[in-house]
Chain A
Amino acid sequence: MTLSPDQLKSAAAEKVAGLAKLRRDGGVLRDYRAPRWDEPFIMEQGTPGERGILVPLAEDGVTAEVGAAADYIPEGMARAAAPELPEMAQYQVMRHYLRYAQMTLGMDLGSDISEGTCTMKYSPKMHEELIRGHKAADLHPWQDEDTLQGLLEIVYATGQYLKAISGMDAFTLQPGGGSHAVYTNAAVMRRYFEARGELDQRTEMITTIFSHPCDAATPMVAGFKVITVMPDENGYPDLEAFRAAVSEKTVGCMITNPEDTGIYNPQIDKYVEILHDAGALAFTDQANANGILGYARARDAGFDACHFNLHKTFSSPHGCEGPATGAYMCTEKLAPYLPVPVVTKDGDRYHLDYDRPDSIGRVRGFLGNWMGVIRAYAWIRNLGPEGLKEVAEISVLNNNYLDNLLMAVKGVSRPYAEGHRRLDQVRYSLEQLKEDTGVGTEALRDRMVDFGIQSYWMSHHPWVVPEPFTPEPCETYSKADLDEWAAVIKKCSEEAYTDPQFVLDSPHAQPIDQMRRTEAMEDPDQWAFTWRKYKRRFKDKA
């Protein structure tokens, strides 16, 4: 069956309108109330003398031999005043943080289609059991490599799989996050040109405005001048502007594809070619590779390097922003510059190779965050090559299905590349809604959570798309989840058109009410980064 665009739109509008009612009225919206514990800060709690845990004391045989610990602390180095930490019994501490956990919606509870660019997929619970056991959690990084063979095997194998997925020749899993892997690239490219004696000449890195902020910030940290290319009228990085930016000064590019807009740049290999013609290098930020797994490889578009976030595409949980793992992948040409140690295989044995004279050195201590690697390994093995493609296919299908519903919501638009379908995510605009009602994207974000849905990701800065929001309905979500998410946006839009002040006063069903005195965030005379500062500044005076 094939429907015309207009037919599709009216069918979607009808569907989403029906869904955007409370469940008791026949819709899918929840009558949700977030837990509200009215819990004081832990610094305000406890009673002098209470203990949260008892620690081992030195045995008599030890003190008989060495005497008092205090005798070993040099003059002036013994702490005079005890730290003003809570004194609280164990149950009370545990309960306090359990209440904080309840007041955190997270992804597992919150139907996190919301956080586009973050790929909030289900993190299998079995993986958590694997990494919490002592065979993973209680390993010392300097242990003899003979006692880490299982871990090294997992890392090595995961590296091989990521090579297959990217088409690259070499890998490191040392970076402690996606931005860290992107930074690793800036350092590797720097070392490459340093080794060639071209570092004085090559001083400029090119990125695009719809690439992640780290693609601009990390080359700056590496010492390069950053040139940012803006989109053309179709949302693609302006090819002519890109061409004009490339010169004999260019180190390379650090760009995403698809960009945050979800639009796949069909000419991406042309950009790479322009760089290579100028002797420069090309890196692609693949933090969000979900839509292209098994469909497109960075190497095939000519890139010299790319990265993956194991906590996004490869299922490792986000853990309130870490611990995370960045996988940095590159061609043979850049492999000598990878950070040490590199995991190698020799017959059945795995080794940590530190003897790499051209290496950039290190970006992180020890071996990296290999909890994420264990999880990624398990996830890849669980899905196999067909499953990975299915992940991509369903992500893309989910995204287009949700798009169909959202585009039928009043006040929502989708800038750029009309007639082109997005892959894994879409950057929408609520500019129309704001114009019509005064309700912008921030207010809507603070209202949608009242329906038990995680707040959406708007956009990285700057907001090139006005009043943006960016959902990413990856393979984790069911059709019913997508319907519910679209219904929430529809409901919030309806509220904005009928009672905008109600939305502007949001939230209404959260652990706390609307934040006030927000100028404190910018004012040195008002900010308080710790409780002791706040207490001195505001409470002790009162």
Chain B
Amino acid sequence: MADTPFVHPYIPNSVPATKQAMLDELGLGSVEEIYAEIPDRLRFKGTLDIPPAILSERTLRKHVQGLLDKNTSSVEFMNFCGAGCWQHYVPAVVDEIINRAEFVSAYCGGDYSDLGKYLTRFEFNSMMGELLDYDAVANPIYDWGDVAGRSFRMARRITGRDKVLVPAHMSPMRLMEARTLCQPESMPTSTKIRFYEWDRETGMADLADLEAKLDDSYAAVYWENPTYLGTIEAESARIVELAHSVGALAIAGVDPITLGVLTPPGTLGADIACGDIQPLGMHMHAGGGCSGFIAFRDDGPVFAQECPLELYTVMETATPGQYAVGEAIAERTSYGSRDQGKDWVGTASGLWTIGAAVYMALMGPQGFKELGETCIARSHYAARRLAELPGVEVRLSPSFFKEFVVDFVGTGKTVAEVNKALLGHQIFGGKDLSAEFPELGQSALYCVTEYSDKDDIDELVSAVKEVTA
């Protein structure tokens, strides 16, 4: 085998004759002469500790698919878990478009050669602008927690103040990401995160506590709508008002799929909105479907100038009526100004922007409205039916979009036990909140979207009944 040349379908020039011809044209005896650039003491001389090649495509596919088959998917089991990544139906046309080789393989190609990519990005920004009610939407990046942290930093730069107030029931995962971005408090450029309380009965913001804590040392007040625990924040407008009363910015964290039926953050007067576009047509991919957006009001240049993400603007061409798309004020990004720029940008989740554009165009205003109504109706139906079970209690406000808190304390079972037992019924139960929110007892965050129908919900209810009996 050692004498057999390694010729691989992904490496055309590994054919020995080709390699030799190229070496000849370079006047080289071997590629080793090029690697002489790496001094001997820095050269790795062993064999990489990696298993031998599985060469044929058929064998490799069997091997990797065999590993993946050890997973159990949310198609095989019924899934009632959300908590930051949600199972909504993905229209076939979305997959058709994002699986196109042109989009899958494109990267940083230019304004002309990759025009369609830029046009789609601009359409994504424009349609998000309609959903959110903003004139300015930036090119998305990693995920919601990341853009929450970036929004805090953006508010700090805009206001010159170094503290933000966030709800104590902000998603703990998003909070962890934001904390990493905001730096340890001992650092001079840190953004300090402070908390305002939430009402344990309704799940909404504790406005009295917010009002008591808020003063003009804060750069921003952040809230989530719906909250991490599912409640629709009825006092959103009041939160904006309070923030503005001390010259702080109001930052909304929103799930965009709610916006066919819920008041958008722009209408509420929020200065910045952030959130995740995963619900807009992305498969969950174990969380890999996530992608964070930032939108903001555009009534003066300061927000755009402090926005850390790429912005695109409509451009004209030599032919009247023809449009192009150009990157606006690129100098402000890390690509333009390295460490003098606003945070950083990099390859993150571009394909999901295209998927979300297709999704929004397919759904239209009526699709978003109907989907919102279905999520609300089915999730409330599930909550009601679950609450009828002995020892099972639905906590917090009666007003939620798709997620709600179910407390199993009265059943004498822990969430972990309930969820393990539900696996036997081919069901993924809600996110266990007992460690994140011990004050909620043995609670789980359940999620019901349009993906699950009445039969699914009824099956869930009878399974929960059985495992909690």
Contacts and interface: CB of A to CB of B under 8 A. Distances in A.
Are A and B co-members of a single complex? yes
A513 B57 CA distance: 43
B313 A529 contact: yes
A77 B262 contact: yes
Interface string B123-135: 1011111110111
B160 interface: no
Given A52-B361, A476-B11, A530-B126, 16 more contacts: A2-B27, A66-B384, A72-B380, A83-B368, A104-B103, A107-B106, A139-B71, A165-B50, A221-B153, A221-B343, A223-B188, A323-B291, A361-B177, A404-B25, A529-B125, A530-B128
B263 A517 contact: no
Contacts of A343: none
Contacts of B348: 176-177, 180, 321-324
A120 B263 contact: no
B43 A296 contact: yes
B267 A80 contact: yes
B71 A148 contact: yes
A161 B49 CA distance: 7
A390 B120 CA distance: 38
B85 A141 contact: yes
Contacts of A53: 91, 93, 362-363, 367
Contacts of B338: 213, 216-217, 226, 228, 461
Nearest to A222: B183
Interface residues of A, number: 229
14 contacts: A78-B263, A85-B360, A108-B101, A124-B10, A134-B73, A136-B286, A150-B69, A223-B188, A295-B35, A322-B347, A385-B47, A387-B53, A477-B13, A532-B135
Given A149-B71, A165-B48, A513 B322 contact: yes
B349 A41 contact: no
Contacts of B89: 55-56
A139 B13 contact: no
B79 A140 contact: yes
Contacts of B400: 72
Interface in B291-336: 291, 298, 300-301, 304, 311-319, 322-324, 326-330, 334-336
A364 B313 CA distance: 29
Interface in A353-408: 360-372, 374, 377-378, 380-391, 393-394, 396-398, 400-401, 404
B173 interface: yes
Nearest to B226: A77
A286 interface: no
Interface string B44-70: 100111111111010011011101111
Contact of B106 (A4, A98, A106, A366): A106
Contacts of A150: 67-71
Contacts of A292: 38
B273 to A, nearest CB: 13
- Name the residue among A2, A130, A513, A521 with the largest chain B CB count within 10 angstroms: A521
A104 B264 CA distance: 33
A521 B176 contact: no
Contact of A381 (B54, B106, B127): B54
* Closest 8 A/B residue pairs (Cβ): A366-B287, A179-B346, A384-B53, A150-B70, A455-B110, A52-B362, A321-B350, A74-B234
B352 interface: yes
A491 B289 CA distance: 43
A190 B431 CA distance: 32
Interface in A78-131: 78-80, 82-88, 90, 93-94, 96-110, 112, 114-115, 118, 120-124, 126, 128-131
B463 interface: no
Contact of A102 (B116, B236, B335): B116
A44 B302 CA distance: 29
